[in-house]
Structure 1
């Protein structure tokens, strides 16, 4: 009896499940079977995967508190994205697959109507997974499908909100505002639905710069949301927006609400709210002691350790506002030593430290800080370009200060007596011996402590971690032996470094005349020579020519620094010191007069009228024929354009260059370079001379002139331009091979009449006649020009011919009457080949070819 009953029961159940699995029948069993299966299988797993993906997104997202936060924490990845690509996240992929599975296997679509009440949830999950996967167009399709197919769904309002979130991501902010405003008017939303709708509406208003309305919507969202995390974020954004509008009191009220949430919301919101309130502090009328106590409390609270980077920075800001620069510097450096992940905070710290050093005229250190600032900014962004301009302005002063420092050190040694030199280097050698002894002790300690050793002298490996049944290996820093070993290893690798920023840089070595890590003299010395004063004394320059060269280099650096401090930075005190040091250093004659004139202008700027009068009278008395004396004797005309000024002479010379008077340009440039040596105009003259040299003498002469300019004036704009020419342009001009003159290869030809350069009148007369002939020529639109080839040869050229044969038989285009006017011999050449002969001055090579 039992066996037949079980068989019958199995058949009945099988029949029931088969009938239930069918998606073509609309009955109670089928609907509920597929609804329950979809909800508690595919959709459940899909929602779990979606939540895991959202958590990973939030963990990976880094908020930029220097700007107004976005309402939704989501990193948009746009770099190198091909069409249809997305930053695939496995969790969102899995969620999308589960949603698609629920739709494919459990949809009961009969006569165009869906009978499974869970399918709208499946489409919502599908849209959300695509949205977080940053495939916004497919996501929009899923949300629109819900609105089209399931107008009576209980998820309809969620679908509308998510559709507008997607529209905002697609920059359809106006459309999103219109749809969300209509939704809020037509539907009586409550709770999280109201919070979601108003918060995303606030984001749309933020994107369209309607800040006051965005604040209103965020207020509604912060009250309606069930999530304290969201509430804290919405309140914090309100505070940021009030600050942006300049309403500091209202901003502080919003930040106080964030602080009141305390542990109910992420601590970063509370800490940053405190910091934003402190930024709003009135330093003129407020209680500074209260603010300092608050900052100390934030600093000392152990729970705030992850946020010390921001707290130290704000303490630095507090001290900087109170003109306590030394304390400010300490705390900016503390902020940097926290190894913060906030690159903008790092950049801000470095920039402020750079500005402090800049204001103190410590330009070398300022330049180093600006370099660090740029490494933490987005390349070619507006802040990056701003800092780069600051850094570029320091390039010259850093360059010349380095030269002056080295040359000063050498000249000081040159001027010491033999006894003083010996005493100096004996003192230096004593320091070297102490350092060598310390190094020897460290090496011996390292040998004694080779390997990580525990308190029981058991090697710290797989078999020696534990020394007893109830005692495990000590934590590294609790074990004095292993700590000592670690310190020794550090010293062996890095040397004795002080605790400071950029401690890994090679120039953080020993102090004194030289550092062992970066001094070539010390590196070349043997063990005996390192401790012999005579070895170092022998390296001091002794030849008069060498000493004179160093002195000239140092004096030129002084002069350039004086100009830079005076003209670029308006640091008249520093400029005065440099010019005075220069005049006391037996400078070349060419630097004396401009230095004295610049000192006169500096005395005037500093209000030192007595010194200015002395300098003025000295220039007029000793240099009466100079242009400086002319200016000083005629102060009323000082503002007028001086025809003999470097700028006026350069402009006149440039006009001659345009007229192809290259020999004259080269000659005058050399003269002006000698006259104005040391002034900024010299590098411009050198560049103009190099170009004229290339046009007159060809590629090789041009290359030499450009190379000289690039090396000699490396830190000027013209020097950098020459470097670019040498690197990128000259290699392209090096080709000497002529192209084949074939109409299929080139379609531009010239007809050239050759004259001696001395025949200037003849050339002008011929060109006048040629222009009249070309004007009357039928079927062709031709024009002429005069080009200098070299010192002895000038060309008159006919342009506009497109056919090689026509160019070769140019005289056949002329009428009999015009042939009588144009009797000069000519040759034809392709434009590409004409460029080659002008660059390389190889006309003879071309004429020996069988081209004409």
Structure 2
């Protein structure tokens, strides 16, 4: 009792002051700082630096998630804050407005730091400001000022932080770690405001002043990065050399990254490549560098690519990927370079696959993502048609084989299948043996394997066991192959796939019985034998060749590849529609390749054998042909579209079919197809339109018109599918419809003119008419502007006696909603027989 009374926080006594100071320092604050350091260490360990960009001065990732009052993002920082608050509440000696406990400034400093690392910057700022206000004579005052500016920087108050830090540095003689902290934070504020020169100067001071070699290595590495940003490679290399000199005194990642940055600065024209290769090899062979082989392999790949050793470069880029690096940007860079190499070598399908992998490692909708996405989209068509060509070629090769050759081919395939099955069975047995061994060990007193959420002794949940998961993945691939993640992935109409570029037996394997699985005859029986099917496969293959020729010629300027494809078309007994366009394109390619003799032969052949064609006219009289030629595909399309707007749907459909055949293979054909489909829908209704749209979406899947058709199929057709009539509503608009069957244009125009004259005499209503095609035989003349059903039903009463005598054709009344339905579904008879009242 005597001790408690004598140590009261309300008495300014020597014993009281020292008791509370010692208790706060060596109990509450000691535990608080321990928790803070543990939290800071875990924060640093969880943070991953992006060495593709300028590193931040401080290793801390700021999250946008909102924390409610009383909550903490990190328990350790919450504990540190708790201890600081406890020290203040239990040991503060505020007597007559003056704090008598010398440890209270430390408590508030701990409170501010805990809140700072917990990313509650405004409360942290309050704690630091309280120290500056309440304890101006504290020996921690400079630290409080530095931490306040660190917090201001996190709150984007960079100009204020620069002003306050510069004043602190000019007014106070800071030393050692305080100087390092102040100048490093000033450097960060300069970086945030794009003042790179000033940041470099402050980092130089900080690197000499800091007591931590970790910080020294980081500051000097950032210096080197900033010099590179300014284009001063010599100064950058000096800064990186200082990092390398620290060797094991600083984290290994800084050492490796400094070497790599120096290698990036290497001049391949004037530098000693032998020395550089020796350095890369030494880094690769050093056992301490194993965690960083992904970066070293990549840089070695860059070396070989810059020295024109492409095959070695590809090998090292792949080695970098096989390290299973966690650096997504490094993965993306590896995949992108491999894609570019394949693209430059005209291996477009492989390039597309690499670009797909690149996209999966980039942030969605970022600028690099959009650049690669554009590259990948340019390859869609070529990959699509290459797959069709390769697939159909493989099928036709099987069709052309003799019976003995087919048997030999599939015998080899089934033998390999048996071997794989035996290997998988052996793996399964090994897994079972391992499970048995684990059970024995557990029975002998060892800890049994983790069994998920079930009780001990229950069967282990499948996905908690990595061994069974791996086995399941292998079994899936063995049965189904590498399937994309999509709906209806299992669907397939035959054992011949049109996606993989080769005979696909995965579906056959999945459905085959045990006897059929290893029977070559089972697979041979799936090869198409009907001539109609074989002709269709050949036709699709030839069309794919033709499209590839156009793509290589127009999009990629790969004239030799385009030439090969067009020649493949002509050598494959193509249908007539592809022969002339292929020959004309070959003529243009010969000109571009400078093969004048071949060009002359191709030109003469077209003029001699196809004299009445547009191509012959272009070659014979080029001066007569211009882009404004009335017979050009573009002008013909414009004229046909004009007919569509005039509701001449039957002629649009007929002419479209003619132009589709005439311009087969040209880019405008899908536009004619879409126009034809729209006209078909207008004339024949929803079902015909749906079929036509489906045809376009499948046939021209990679064209803009095909994508538009897919959008219509997905989003528009479901909205149009309902053909149920709605009950009449007083809120709807109504139409009076006059029906004409097999009427000519003059008769319709004459009636409309007469009707417009009559409508002009109607009072109180603004009425107008239109001619609407309903079907090939039936046309409507429609009166618009009636605002309710009663007025529509008594339409004749709106007319004068004289006007009634002029308009005697049969009519019916219909709401605007139901009129739309009969035009879409062509179900007028159904409407006339239904009661919509």
TM-score for both structures, normalised by structure 2:
0.84
2:404 aligned partner: 422
Q: CA 1:437 to 1:258, structure 2 compared with 1: closer, same or farther past 3 Å?
A: closer
Counterpart in the other structure of 1:472: none
Q: 1:707 aligns with which of 676, 681, 694?
A: 694
Q: Distance in 1 between matches of 2:481 and 2:330?
A: 21
Structure 2: where are the runs of 5+ without partners?
A: 447-465, 485-499
**Residues 185 and 841 of structure 1, relative CA distance in 2, 3 Å threshold:** farther
Counterpart in the other structure of 2:32: 46
Deviation readout 1:617-665 (Å, 9 max, x if unpaired): 1111111221112222233465643332222222333333344443333
Residue 354 (structure 1) aligns with: 339
Counterpart of 1:181 in structure 2 is 166
Mapped contact 2:769–2:781 kept (Cα < 8 A): no
Task: Give the Cα–Cα distance (whole angstroms) in 2 for the partners of residues 529 and 177 of structure 1.
Answer: 76
CA distance in structure 2 between the partners assigned to 1:513 and 1:817 by the alignment: 76
- 1:749 is aligned, of 702, 722, 733, to 733
Q: Does 1:57 align with 2:47?
A: no
Among 608, 616, 636, the residue aligned to 1:649: 636
Determine the structure 2 residue equivalent to 1:271.
256
User: Which residue matches 1:621?
Assistant: 608
How far did 1:427 drift? 5.6
Distance in 1 (CA, whole Å) between partners of 2:126 and 2:438 is: 67
Give me the whole-angstrom Cα distance separating, in 2, the residues matched to 1:288 and 1:652: 65
Label 1:590 to 1:263 Cα distance change in 2 as closer, same or farther (>3 A).
same
Contact 1:558 1:579 in 2 (8 A): yes
What residue in structure 2 maps to residue 309 of structure 1? 294
Residue 541 and residue 435 in structure 1: after superposition, are their counterparts in 2 closer, same or farther (change >3 A)? closer
Question: Please, which moves more after superposition, 701-710 or 426-435?
Answer: 426-435
1:219 is aligned, of 197, 204, 209, to 204
Q: Distance in 2 between matches of 1:125 and 1:656?
A: 81
Distance apart, 1:137 and its partner CA: 2.8
- In structure 2, relative to structure 1, the CA distance for the partners of 1:134 and 1:615 (3 Å cut) is same
Structure 1 alignment gaps of length 5 or more:
1-10, 467-485
Larger CA deviation: 683-692 vs 811-820: 811-820
Structure 1 counterpart of 2:62, from 76, 79, 91: 76
- Match of residue 319 from structure 2: 334
Distance 1:175 1:445, change over 3 A: closer
Residues 555 and 587 in structure 1, CA contact (< 8 A), matched pair in contact too: yes
Deviation at 1:284, TM superposition (A): 1.0
CA distance in 2, matches of 1:320, 1:276: 17
Deviation string for 1:504-525 (max 9, x for gaps)?
9589xxxx99789636279647
User: 1:283 Cα shift?
Assistant: 0.7
* Aligned counterpart in structure 2 of residue 321 of structure 1, from 306, 309, 322: 306
Tell me the alpha carbon deviations over residues 727-776 of structure 1, each in whole angstroms, 9 at most, x when there is no partner: 22222233344555556xx5x635555464744424663686589679xx
Q: Which of residues 391, 409, 418 in structure 2 aligns to 1:436?
A: 418
Contact kept in structure 2, 1:494 and 1:504, CA below 8 Å: no
Report the Cα offset of residue 292 of structure 1. Answer: 0.2
Alignment partner of 1:344 is 2:329: yes
Pairwise CA distance, 1:296: 0.2
Corresponding residue of 1:67: 53
Q: Distance in 2 between matches of 1:14 and 1:216?
A: 55
Query: Paired residue for 2:508?
Result: 520
Matched, 1:690 2:677: yes
Q: Secondary structure at the match of 2:55?
A: coil
The structural deviation recorded for 1:98 is 1.8
2:130 is matched with: 145
Bigger shift: residues 180-189 or 286-295: 180-189
Q: Answer yes or no: is the 8 Å Cα contact 1:624–1:630 preserved in 2.
A: yes
Q: Is the 8 A contact 2:767 2:783 kept in 1?
A: no
Distance in 1 separating the partners of 2:292 and 2:347: 31
Q: State the partner residue of 1:6.
A: none
Hey, what does 1:106 align to over in structure 2? 91
Q: 1:813 to 1:317 in 2, by over 3 A?
A: farther
Say whether 1:461 aligns with 2:441: yes
> Is 1:234 matched up with 2:219?
yes
Cα gap change, 1:818 to 1:55, in 2 (>3 Å): farther
* Counterpart-to-counterpart distance in 2, 1:135 and 1:820: 86
Q: Distance in 2 between matches of 1:185 and 1:714?
A: 69
The CA distance in 2 between the partners of 1:648 and 1:740, in whole Å, is 46
Q: 2:3 aligns with which of 8, 13, 32?
A: 13
Instruction: Please give the alpha-carbon distance, in whole angstroms, between the structure 2 residues aligned to 1:205 and 1:662.
Output: 69
Q: Is the 8 A contact 1:236 1:269 kept in 2?
A: yes
Normalising to structure 1: TM-score of the pair?
A: 0.83
2-structure distance, mates of 1:489, 1:731: 40
Which shows bigger deviation, 675-684 or 328-337? 675-684
Contact 1:690–1:705 (8 Å) recurs in 2? yes
The verdict on how the C-alpha distance between 1:149 and 1:835 changes in structure 2, with shifts beyond 3 A counting, is: farther
**Distance across 1 between alignment mates of 2:560 and 2:416:** 40
Deviation at 1:122, TM superposition (A): 2.5
Deviation at 1:288, TM superposition (A): 0.4
* Match 1:283 to one of 268, 291, 294: 268
Contact 1:751 1:826 in 2 (8 A): no
Contact kept, 8 Å, 1:771 with 1:783, in 2: the verdict is yes
Counterpart Cα distance in 2 of 1:453 and 1:783 = 85
RMSD of aligned Cα (Å): 4.1
- CA distance in 1 between counterparts of 2:273 and 2:518 reads 56
Contact 2:774 2:780 in 1 (8 A): yes
What SS class does the counterpart of residue 793 from structure 1 fall into? strand
Matched residue of 2:379: which SS?
helix
CA positional deviation for 1:185: 3.5
Establish whether residue 249 from structure 1 lines up as the match of residue 239 from structure 2.
no
Shift of 1:63: 0.8
SS in 1 for 2:393: helix
Deviations 1:162-193 (A, max 9, x none): 33333332333333333333433443333222
Preserved contact between residue 446 and residue 489 of structure 1 (Cα < 8 Å)? no
- Compute the displacement of 1:349 (Å): 1.0
Aligned length: 796
Change beyond 3 A, Cα 1:450–1:617: same
Change (3 A) 1:191 1:730: same
Residue 804 of structure 1, CA deviation: 7.1
Shift of 1:258: 1.1
Task: For 1:841 and 1:666, locate their aligned partners in 2 and report how far apart those are by CA, in whole Å.
Answer: 18
Question: Greater CA deviation, 713-722 or 812-821?
Answer: 812-821
Q: Is the 8 A contact 1:446 1:488 kept in 2?
A: no
- Distance of aligned partners of 1:162 and 1:836 in 2 relative to their CA distance in 1, 3 Å threshold: farther
| Aligned pairs for 1:644-683 within 5 A | 644-683=631-670
Match of 1:721 in 2: 708
Instruction: Report SS of the residue matched to 1:607.
Output: coil
Query: Relative to 1, partners in 2 of residues 1:705 and 1:760: Cα closer, same or farther, differing over 3 Å?
Result: same
Taking the TM superposition and a 5 Å limit, the aligned residue runs for 1:437-452 are 440=422, 443=425, 451-452=433-434
Q: Of 403, 410, 422, which aligns to 2:395?
A: 410
The offset of 1:140, in angstroms, is: 2.8
Retained in 1: the 8 A contact 2:283–2:296? Answer: yes
* Alpha-carbon distance change, 642 to 87 in structure 1, aligned in 2, over 3 angstroms: farther
- Residues 390 and 501 in structure 2, CA contact (< 8 A), matched pair in contact too: no
Residue 151 of structure 2 is aligned with which of 166, 174, 184?
Answer: 166
Deviation readout 1:385-416 (Å, 9 max, x if unpaired)? 22222222222222222221122223233334
C-alpha separation in 2, matches of 1:514 and 1:254: 55
Q: Counterparts of 2:332 and 2:199 in 1: how far apart (Å)?
A: 30
